[in-house]
Amino acid sequence: GAGVSQSPSNKVTEKGKDVELRCDPISGHTALYWYRQSLGQGLEFLIYFQGNSAPDKSGLPSDRFSAERTGGSVSTLTIQRTQQEDSAVYLCASSLGQGINSPLHFGNGTRLTVT
């Protein structure tokens, strides 16, 4: 079956522009996560969705970052007024649930470069 799909795979944008990153989780997975991977900070948690609700947004670095999930499926991570420090690989993961027996399945990420 299909895994977690992310688009675009690469995005180059100018500083100050807004970007939207998309994640299609594995069908039937109720939990969805966004992580960011950068050279300086490693892999960092951003936000967690259970269904369409986000009970944990604690990892979002600033109010320029937001995310939504619709229909319990597709999620979009939006970064407004991008800055160079936003350059990173943004990874999406999904799991069947939030419990201990629900390992995360990661997509291949969107590599964002802010020039």
Partner 1 sequence: GESVGLHLPTLSVQEGDNSIINCAYSNSASDYFIWYKQESGKGPQFIIDIRSNMDKRQGQRVTVLLNKTVKHLSLQIAATQPGDSAVYFCAETSAGGTSYGKLTFGQGTILTVHP
Chain residues in the site for partner 1 (CB under 8 A) = 4, 31, 33, 35, 42-45, 48, 50, 55-56, 91, 93, 95, 98-100, 102-109
Residue 50, CA distances (Å) to 2, 33, 84, 101 in order: 20, 9, 30, 16
Query: In degrees rounded to 5, what are phi and psi of residue 86?
Result: -80, -10
- Closest CB to partner 1 among residues 44, 80: 44
- In angstroms, give the least distance from the CB of 3 to partner 1: 9
Cβ-based nearer residue to partner 1, 71 or 99: 99
Residues linked to residue 106 through DSSP beta bridges, in sequence order: 93
Which of 8, 22, 6 has the alpha carbon at shortest distance from 113? 8
To the nearest whole angstrom, how small is the minimum distance from the Cβ of residue 56 to partner 1? 4
At closest approach, how far in Å is the CB of 63 from partner 1?
Answer: 20
Closer to partner 1 by Cβ: residue 79 or 93: 93
- Burial (CB < 10 A; 0-12, 13-18, 19+), residue 13, is middle
* Between 8 and 55, CB nearer to partner 1: 55
